[in-house]
Copies of this chain bind each other. A is one copy, B any other.
Amino acid sequence: MPDFEPDARLVADTYPITELPLCQLRLMDDARFPWLVLVPRRHEVSEVFELDERAQRQLWREATQVGRALLEALEGDKLNIASLGNVVAQLHVHAVVRRREDAAWPAPVWGHGRAEPYDPDALAAMRARILAELERLDLGSGDQGSGNQGTGDQD
């Protein structure tokens, strides 16, 4: 879907990492928290339930599995997964690795203090880490353009 572009505020706050079967995977530019943002490549969708059921499942699957992989790789304490969208209406899901000693714990990360942008080396390291973890995952095939509702849906 080459014509897909996330909301300008998401683009401004995050770095693109890769394309998952359904979502564009991005990294929030805040080195305080390992904070992923998944943006389904769908136009004019703001609520999870506006996706068809198959895409809903794929969205949660991608957020849960990618979040888990990063949590385990970084030995975090808790995974926070959330679809909020009160500020940026375009549907996106946050998957944030939390640590008991992080800047906001135990509060949620949204609106907490000021973001600390990555320096280039730290950004490159985090991106490489995420991509390495993704190689181990089976995220299925998503539901893009396939009329076959039976594929890509195995447990």
Q: Is the CB of A64 within 8 A of B68?
A: no
Could you name 10 residue pairs across A and B whose Cβ atoms are closer than 8 Å? A49-B79, A56-B61, A57-B61, A80-B83, A80-B84, A80-B85, A81-B82, A82-B82, A86-B105, A107-B111
By a CB distance below 8 angstroms, the chain B residues around A146 are none
Complex: chain B residue closest to A154, CB-CB = B53
Given A56-B64, A87-B106, A108-B110, also A81-B149 (CB < 8 A)? no
Q: Is the CB of A106 within 8 A of B81?
A: no
The contact string, 1 if C-beta is below 8 Å from chain B, for chain A 72-110, is 000000111111111101000000001000000111101
Q: Is the CB of B85 within 8 A of A64?
A: no
Q: Is the CB of B106 within 8 A of A86?
A: yes
Q: Is the CB of B48 within 8 A of A64?
A: yes
Q: Indicate if A54 sits at the interface (CB-CB under 8 A).
A: yes
Total residues of chain A contacting the partner, CB 8 A: 36
**Given A56-B60, A80-B84, 16 new contacts (CB under 8 A):** A47-B79, A48-B64, A49-B64, A49-B67, A49-B68, A52-B155, A53-B155, A57-B57, A81-B82, A81-B83, A82-B84, A86-B106, A107-B110, A107-B111, A108-B111, A149-B155
By a CB distance below 8 angstroms, the chain B residues around A53 are 61, 155
Q: Indicate if A14 sits at the interface (CB-CB under 8 A).
A: no
